[in-house]
Amino acid sequence: MVPSGLSAASRRELSRLLRDNPPLVTTSLAVSTLGLTPAAASRRLTAWARAGWLARVRRGAYVPVPIESPSADVALEDPWSVAMTMFAPCYIGGWSAAEHWGLTEQIFRSVCVMTLKRPYDRQPVLRKVRFDLHTVAQSQLVGLKTVWRGGTRLQVSDPARTLVDMLTSPSLGGGIRHVAEMLNTLLHEQPKEAPKLLLYAEKLGVGAVYKRLGYLTQRDHPDLAELIATCRQRMTAGYASLDPALPADRLVTAWRVWVPDSELREPAS
């Protein structure tokens, strides 16, 4: 649909609303910017969407349609910026943060968002982009870096915090094999991040992290004696799976971790 004409007054209002290039146009933004009631703001946004100047993301949320676009069926220009508005308080984590920090060359098809919200739909598809939403507690908002995308301020887990999240839940990295590869990249290419792994593991208090981190480090980096020793000292009672998504019949008692045969091998020499 080609955008239709607007009255002079309507053009002025839309220009004011889009003046700061917001990644997402919401009812609350229209209320604060244009001084409208929520009902009037909602009607105005709906009218602009019907005219082809905005594209609906979900109820009360729209993205601007570029002037050069042949239709209003547009994808999200910057999904991260949209996530910061839709799912705040939140941060970009897991595989998305790993891609950002160069920890992996794997291509993932969705955006991983760690949010304080408890959404009913944890895999919403908004304007052709899928978001994977994972709930975290307020106390877990540590180890975050501020980055800017256009004029939007974003929060992204730093490299070490990204790894600790993935060691907490390997699915956040696409499975333990990918997590192990990203851990290797971190330890080889960003060795100054290594002490932060223990710092964040302590702050988050997830015992399974020490078991998975200790096992993988001893297997792939046996020279990192201090890191291995600290993991062993802080290891909690009980047993954990190296990857809860995989069947595992081999118990490595030294680390109290169940390991799939595919991940069971002698430490690197």
pLDDT digits (tens, 9 = 90+) for 187-199: 999 999 999 999 9
**Using N-to-C axis directions, what is the helix angle for 194-204 and 225-234, rounded to 10°?**
10
How many other CB atoms are there within 10 angstroms of residue 216's CB atom? 22
Helix (H) or strand (E) holding 141, with range, is: none
- Tell me the whole-structure pTM to 2 decimals: 0.86
Average pLDDT over the chain, rounded to whole? 91
Instruction: Give per-residue pLDDT as tens, 152-170.
Output: 899 999 999 999 999 999 9
pLDDT of 243: 97
Residue 71 has pLDDT above 70, yes or no: no
Tokens of 265: 């091998």
Residue extents of the structural domains in the chain:
8-64, 79-236
Residue 47 has pLDDT above 70, yes or no: yes
Instruction: Give per-residue pLDDT as tens, 124-139.
Output: 999 889 999 999 999 9
Coil, helix or strand for 72? coil
The whole-number average pLDDT for the span 5-19 is: 85
- Is it true that domain 8-64 has CATH number 3.40.47.10? no
Query: How many angstroms separate the CA atoms of 225 and 229, rounded?
Result: 6
